[in-house]
Amino acid sequence: MPALLCVHPHPDDESIACGGVIAKAVDAGHRVKVVTCTRGEEGENLAGIDLGDEDLPTHRLRELQDALAELGVTDHEFLGYRDSGMVDTPGNAHAECFHVADLYEAAGRLARIIRRFRPDVLVSDDAQGTYGHPDHVKAHRVTERALVMAADPWWRTPEDGEPHEVAKRYVFAFSRSRVLETHRRLRAEGLASPFGEADDLDEADIPFGVPDEEVTTVVAIHPWLARKQAAMRAHRSQIGEDSFFLNVPEAVATEIFGTEAFVLLAGEAAGDPEDDLFAGLGSARR
């Protein structure tokens, strides 16, 4: 069966970005691996939960383990860097943070994982890092370089493994129209929107997202939405019960969160749009 590798900067990104396709792939019998680039050291206890005697990174590790269990993922690996924090914060300059890591060295770590795991499909951040976070941008750049290194037969040290070329490379995407529709639907229901209280927003007012015409793949995740929400709920320090992700009526949640969208950057599309990340690969590419 084809295999899926998901590369994410921090704990919780895997559940928010593509928890549905992860759970779907697991249920279909695909091999699935999640790589988390940092441990989220610069994050905050956004939900204000009681951490007891734990520091936040330790607690976030347990949250990640719980979230992966909800999604059915048993193969996880940290890339080994420190969270860089938001743009222009002191964490950006930490000697061990992902933001300042040597690109070739970081890509080499990921390339070795790619060669060992040998995925057919890889998902990561886009070039803008979705909303500009330094670690999300770096995850894109590292993934881009790692894919080239992993496929290069001339790149070799004793621990590198045999070359491997990933058949399809995606970045997850929030289309501008979907972001706008989410805002309008929440406001229509009298619910708080992360994009403010104005009812007359248009796409020019949305701070992030990709043009609809760039989206190549839209995967229906309705049967796995409850699992995705459970995984997000497991990240309890980051996503509280009052989060708009979790605090909407079921019918509204199904409507606005029932699909996950992606942009195919490398490989051959099988549909316009595609409805599955594995479309066109067959049952046993490798």
Query: Domain residues for 92?
Result: 3-175+210-266
Look up the CATH number of the domain holding residue 91.
3.40.50.10320
Tell me if residue 97 falls in helix, strand or coil. Answer: strand
Strand segments (E) across 17-176: 31-38, 75-81, 121-124, 168-173
Residue 47: the pLDDT is 85
Alpha carbon distance 260, 24 (integer Å): 11
What pLDDT, on the 0 to 100 scale, is given for residue 285? 46
In this prediction, residue 44 has a pLDDT band, given cuts at 50, 70 and 90, of confident
pLDDT in tens, 80-137: 999 998 888 878 888 888 989 999 999 999 999 999 999 999 999 998 877 778 999 9
- 285 located within any domain: no
Say if residue 146's pLDDT is above 90. yes
pLDDT, tens digit (0-9, with 9 covering 90-100), for 207-252: 677 888 999 999 999 999 999 999 999 999 998 877 878 878 888 8
Is pLDDT at 205 greater than 80 in this prediction?
no
Q: Is residue 101 part of a domain?
A: yes
Closest C-alpha to 9, from 119, 98, 71: 98
Percentage with pLDDT > 90 across the chain: 61
Is 274 inside any structural domain? no
Tell me what the pLDDT averaged over the chain comes to. 90
Residue 190 in domain: no
Domain-located, residue 197 = no
* pLDDT higher than threshold 60 for residue 150: yes
How much is the pLDDT for 284? 45
Token pair of 140, please?
Answer: 């894109």
Q: Which of 230, 278, 181 is closest to 66 using CA atoms?
A: 230
**Total structural domains in the chain?**
1
Residue 273 counted as domain residue = no
Q: How confident is the model at residue 23 (pLDDT cuts 50, 70, 90)?
A: very high
pLDDT of residue 199: 77
